[in-house]
Amino acid sequence: MKVLERNYSVANIAQLVDTTSIIFGFTLLHLAYVFGLVFYRLYLHPLAKFPGYKICAASEWYEFYCYILKGGQWGNEIQKMHQRYGPIVRTSPWELSIRDPDFYDQLYVTASTRKTDMWPRGREGNGFDDSHHLSVAHDLHRKRRKHLEPFFSRQGITRIEDQIAEHVMKMDNRLVGLSGSGSIIPLDHVLCALTGDVIGQVSSGTQAGLLDDTDFVPAWKDLMIKATSIAPLFRCFPWINKLLQSLPASVMNSVYPKGIANMMLGETGQRNIERIKLEIASTDKDMSGVSVFHHLLSSDIPESEKSTNRLRAESMVLLLAGTLAGAHTLTFVVFYVLQNPDIEARLRAELEPLFMDYPNRMPRWAELEKLPYLRGCIKEALRLNGLVGNLARCSPDEEIRFNQWTIPKRVREAYVPFS
């Protein structure tokens, strides 16, 4: 009996030793892999010759630290790198940042110059991978974007100009009515309500009525902010968004309240798509001119491009970009114009002749775009206004020259728009 107990103890010890050895071996292998990967990225990678912080070249964890733990300071950190190292810096193991306004037209080119793809990792975790904005392949992006041109091309904008003007005049009437009341209304809430009403009507034919609300629905802007503020986290950990989207809304709201914003936007888009499909199926009338999604669902594009899931992603992009980006740009330009009396006076003088008969007659965009100072203010606002993320591109087929540097194919490059 004692012999059996002794043999059993020896067997247990041997098994424990084997388990410990396996864990230790896997740990050593993992450490060797990590050190080997870091060594490769720092010294053997095609981007090893480019300047920048070594920690950025080694991993993306510094980007995570600046985005998440330092409260969205990654853009400022990139600026510091440019100030220290020059116009081109390496910001991750596979990404370069370029700060040179003369290079802008060489990076963002048309198909006739060269193909440019979306960097696949740049779209991970957003929840709208199937949208035109996040289509990886150049040809697919071009095809999907072409389907939107009837509404967002120059001719398309001219066609819906009266709809936009109607919402602008409603906003103006609301602000005139509040004049002298002593009410304090945040400008960004007003402009977010304006852009939300416009994009809602243009994209799905809905009348949200945000401008009719007493306080301009501040919850609408809060929803937009929440939906974009979690983008860096989802970019660093794409699996989190997939996990959250699988949860019931009540559970998500208690586990991660910010995540409910993406879910609400997605559900809103899905309801609109399903409603529009029913509207088209129940009539023989041509409804392609009602909204973007009426147009897409009435067109002859492949059925896979009309799926509810894909158009749901498209809807989220249009709502976010059409609402928040537009409102931010408008808030930015209005603030700086009003903060600089000389700029305001010059802009008012240029606009005055066209607004002599307002509100009986609203100036047309064809007239407004001929005003050089107004056009300059708009372009400067678009240049300097912050983005949700950088507009990174990669060239799948050609190397790119920047000063004395040769940027390899399939490397992600982004232009930094700060002066």
- Confidence band, pLDDT 50/70/90 cuts, at residue 390: low
What region, left, alpha or beta, does residue 418 occupy, with left being phi > 0 and alpha being psi -120 to 50 degrees? beta
pLDDT tens, 342-379? 999 999 999 999 999 988 889 999 999 999 999 999 98
- Half-sphere exposure of 211 toward its Cβ, with a 13 Å CA cutoff? 22
User: How far apart are the C-alpha atoms of 402 and 166, rounded to whole Å?
Assistant: 46
pLDDT score, position 4? 46
Instruction: Write b or e for each residue in 80-118: b if 16 or more Cβ atoms lie within 10 A of its Cβ, otherwise e.
Output: ebbeeeebbbbbbbbbbbbbbeebeeebeeeeeeebbbb
pLDDT tens, 55-107? 999 998 898 888 888 877 888 899 999 999 999 999 989 889 998 888 888 88
> Above 70 in pLDDT, residue 125?
no
- In CATH, 138-391 is 1.10.630.10: yes
User: How far apart are the C-alpha atoms of 391 and 305, rounded to whole Å?
Assistant: 24
Residues, the chain: 419
For residue 381, count other CB atoms closer than 10 A to its CB.
19
Domain residue ranges of the chain, discontinuous segments joined by +: 9-44, 46-117+404-419, 138-391
- Confidence band, pLDDT 50/70/90 cuts, at residue 402: confident
pLDDT score, position 14? 56
Helix, strand, coil share of the chain (percent; to 5): 65, 5, 30
Q: Tell me which residue has tokens 């998440």.
A: 68
DSSP 242-282: HHHHTS-HHHHHHH-TTHHHHHHHHHHHHHHHHHHHHHHHT
For residue 281, count other CB atoms closer than 10 A to its CB.
8
pLDDT score, position 419? 45
CA-angle at 168, arms to 227 and 200, nearest 5°: 40
Instruction: Look at 5 and 101; give whichever has higher pLDDT.
Output: 101
> Above 70 in pLDDT, residue 117?
yes
Instruction: Look at 232 and 390; give whichever has higher pLDDT.
Output: 232
CA-angle at 391, arms to 114 and 80, nearest 5°: 120
Q: Is the peptide bond before 87 cis (omega within 30 degrees of 0)?
A: no
pLDDT score, position 132? 77
pLDDT score, position 345? 96
pLDDT tens, 240-288? 777 766 766 666 666 555 555 555 667 788 888 899 999 898 888 888 8
Token output for 232: 């860096």
